[in-house]
């Protein structure tokens, strides 16, 4: 079985089939699954903060398509590091939120960090279970295969289910106003609970990036998983506190 340090390991914030030799079909599969990955992150970050998907469906479709094509460029054409791909995807989501959805930078960052954080928290157990069945080394550790695509599909499905649950039971946080935001209104983003939220979201971003790096090089994904959960729990607590402050 191949080592997880093998150069063929292609793991990003999602597992992706990066087989360059499979022809047009593999390219289409990559682009489609990457679009669903992006949509899964969008669903999470929108529903966690009670935002409307329907009102922004065209911008969301554009975001998913752009995210998919850029990921193909980074991962397949340029063969860049999965870590760089993840950073690029986060920046793409931030820019779309800020300039197309008109979300203030602070709130855009919180939404994106939460969306990616929960997505990674969903994918890690899926990957771990796959390793128990030998998928990670024989299939997911290669440049393509059904195992990689299965991990993507299961993670995306879990994100969709969570989004539906949040919608049905009216769950989530309400402190982020529905965009477009009024940029003339000044808010104190670097004091009180907001400052703590900034610290927690940056910590979450560092942790999920570290999780990616460690998984690529050491294949000890579940050792860092508790840190991802801890960061999400802290963000949940701070978001709940921010909601209560807005209600007072």
Residues 6+ apart with CB under 8 A from 143: 8, 10, 17, 18, 19, 20
Q: What pLDDT, on a 0 to 100 scale, did the predictor assign at position 129?
A: 83
Quick one: residue 50, left, alpha or beta (phi over 0 = left, psi -120 to 50 = alpha)?
Answer: left
Per-residue model confidence as pLDDT tens digits over 56-92: 999 999 999 999 999 999 988 998 888 889 999 999 9
Average pLDDT for 217-242? 88
Structure tokens that stand for 193 in this block: 């609970």
pTM listed for this prediction: 0.89
Residue 16: name the closest of 114, 144, 128 by CA: 144
- Decide if pLDDT at 124 tops 80: yes
Q: What pLDDT, on a 0 to 100 scale, did the predictor assign at position 7?
A: 36
- Decide if pLDDT at 167 tops 50: yes
Average pLDDT for 199-212? 91
Q: What pLDDT, on a 0 to 100 scale, did the predictor assign at position 98?
A: 97
Per-residue model confidence as pLDDT tens digits over 111-123: 999 999 999 999 8
- Decide if pLDDT at 142 tops 70: no
- Decide if pLDDT at 34 tops 70: yes
Residue 120: name the closest of 83, 92, 146 by CA: 83
* pLDDT bucket at 22, cuts 50 / 70 / 90: low
- Decide if pLDDT at 217 tops 90: no
Average pLDDT for 179-187? 93
Per-residue model confidence as pLDDT tens digits over 144-157: 567 778 889 999 99
Asked if 122 and 209 count as a contact pair (C-beta separation under 8 A), the reply is no
d(CA 242, CA 193): 6
Average pLDDT for 220-248? 89
- Decide if pLDDT at 8 tops 50: no
- Decide if pLDDT at 19 tops 80: no
Q: What pLDDT, on a 0 to 100 scale, did the predictor assign at position 244?
A: 94
Q: What pLDDT, on a 0 to 100 scale, did the predictor assign at position 9?
A: 35
* Percent of the chain's residues with pLDDT above 90: 62
d(CA 57, CA 34): 17
């Amino acid at each position: 079985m191949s080592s997880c340090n093998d150069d063929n390991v292609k793991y990003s914030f999602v597992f992706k089939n990066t087989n360059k030799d499979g022809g047009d079909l593999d390219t289409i599969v990559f682009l489609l699954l990457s679009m669903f990955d992006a949509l899964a992150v969008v669903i999470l970050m929108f529903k966690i903060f009670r935002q409307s998907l329907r009102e922004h469906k065209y911008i969301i479709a554009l975001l998913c398509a752009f995210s998919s094509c850029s990921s193909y460029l980074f991962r397949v054409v340029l063969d860049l590091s999965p870590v760089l791909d993840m950073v690029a995807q986060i920046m793409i989501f931030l820019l779309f939120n800020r300039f197309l959805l008109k979300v203030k930078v602070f709130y855009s960052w919180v939404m994106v960090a939460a969306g990616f954080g929960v997505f990674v928290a969903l994918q890690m157990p899926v990957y771990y279970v796959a390793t128990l069945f030998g998928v990670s080394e024989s299939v997911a550790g290669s440049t393509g295969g059904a195992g990689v695509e299965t991990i993507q599909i299961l993670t995306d499905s879990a994100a969709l289910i969570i989004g539906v649950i949040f919608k049905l039971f009216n769950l989530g946080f309400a402190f982020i106003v529905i965009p477009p935001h009024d940029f003339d209104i000044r808010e104190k983003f670097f004091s009180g609970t907001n400052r703590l939220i900034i610290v927690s979201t940056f910590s979450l971003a560092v942790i999920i990036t570290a999780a990616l790096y460690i998984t690529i090089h050491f294949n000890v994904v579940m050792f860092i998983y508790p840190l991802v959960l801890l960061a999400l729990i802290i963000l949940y607590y701070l978001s709940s506190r921010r909601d209560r402050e807005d209600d007072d």
